[in-house]
Structure 1
Amino acid sequence: MTFEEMKRVDVRTVCRENLPDIRKVAVRKQKFAQDKVQNYLAETGNPYCFRVGDVVVKNTYAEDGPDLNDLLRQLILVF
Structure 2
Amino acid sequence: MITSKQLGAMSEQNIETLEKNELVNISTINIKNELTHEKKILDFLEQIRNPYCFRCGDVPVRVCFSESGTTLETALQELFIRIRQS
TM-score band, normalised by shorter chain: 0.7 to 0.9
Higher RCO structure, 1 or 2 (CA under 8 Å, sep 6+): 1
Residues 29-38 or 12-21, more deviating: 12-21
* 2:64 paired with 1:60: yes
Q: Structure 1 stretches of 5 or more lacking a match?
A: 65-79
Q: In angstroms, what is the RMSD of aligned CA positions?
A: 1.5
Q: How many residues align?
A: 64
- Aligned equivalents of 1:48, 1:2: Cα separation in 2: 12
Match of 1:7 among 5, 11, 18: 11
Structure with the bigger percentage of helix: 2
Q: Which one has a bigger Cα radius of gyration?
A: 2
Matches within 5 A, 1:1-79: 2-63=6-67
Unaligned stretches of 5+ residues in structure 2: 69-86
Q: TM-score, normalised by structure 1?
A: 0.74
Task: State the shift of 1:37 in Å.
Answer: 0.2
